[in-house]
Chain A
Amino acid sequence: DIQMTQSPSSLSASVGDRVTITCRASQGIRNDLGWYQQKPGKVPNRLIYAASTLHSGVPSRFSGSGFGTEFTLTISSLQPEDFATYYCVQHHSYPPFFGGGTRVEIK
């Protein structure tokens, strides 16, 4: 199975900050990776697919990069509505595996 290690598990940031979250795959997954945002009590929403393609309607301050084993989600200027938990998931091979999540909190 391909495992995903996500870091950090939590971070504190201020509105306007640049935030970076990383996911590392235990083996190469090409660009078969998605990023999701989940707010408390809500359904996860896809932000990015194919590692770097923005899902329809997602603000351009979100971006993704990476290929193979190292992937990054960047929020260029954190907004109040971005405080949430973020997950990566690999869908290169079964079973799909989610990272452990990164909780982004207000500093």
Chain B
Amino acid sequence: EVQLVESGGGLVQPGGSLRLSCAASGFTFSSYDMHWVRQGTGKGLEWVSGVGVDGDPYYPDSAQGRFIISRENAKNSVYLQMNSLRAGDTAVYYCVRSYGMDVWGQGTTVTVSS
């Protein structure tokens, strides 16, 4: 069964950091680009970052260097290092397979609050 399992979410103070992890199983991880998509409470979906099969990262302009995506094929895992967190980063963060976004994890919740 194809599965993505996120972890690492939690409560963090403004200005703090968190590292999200996504463990993949059931498919050849190294053959797929991987992405993070977030959703604030009551809001729509927003693409946060992506990493290609070759490890090249992709970010929206809004990331402004605060987020760093990486992958470790030996562990079938993708990571999102989030720095200088703001209240607006509060959301459920989903790990998503491929540019076509065909498989989604259950999500991990990040809350930025003092």
Contact = CB atoms under 8 A, between A and B. Distances in A.
A100 interface: yes
Contact of A101 (B35, B44, B107): B44
The range of chain A's interface size is 20 to 34
Contacts of A45: 104
A55 B102 CA distance: 9
B99 A96 contact: yes
A36 B44 CA distance: 12
A98 B99 contact: no
A83 interface: no
A55 B101 CA distance: 11
Interface in A67-91: 87, 89, 91
Contact of B45 (A1, A55, A91, A98): A98
Contacts of B99: 91, 96
A95 interface: yes
Contacts of B94: 43-44
Contacts, number: 50
B35 A43 contact: no
Contacts of A49: 100, 102
Nearest to B103: A46
B105 A94 contact: no
A96 B44 contact: no
Among A34, A38, A96, A100: residue with most chain B CB under 10 A: A96
B100 A97 contact: no
B106 interface: yes
A46 B101 contact: yes
B34 to A, nearest CB: 13
Given A34-B101, A44-B104, A49-B100, A94 B44 contact: no
Interface of A: 1, 34, 36, 38, 43-46, 49, 55, 87, 89, 91, 94-101
Given A49-B100, A89-B45, A96-B50, 12 more contacts: A1-B60, A43-B104, A45-B104, A49-B102, A89-B47, A91-B100, A95-B47, A96-B35, A96-B47, A98-B44, A98-B47, A101-B45
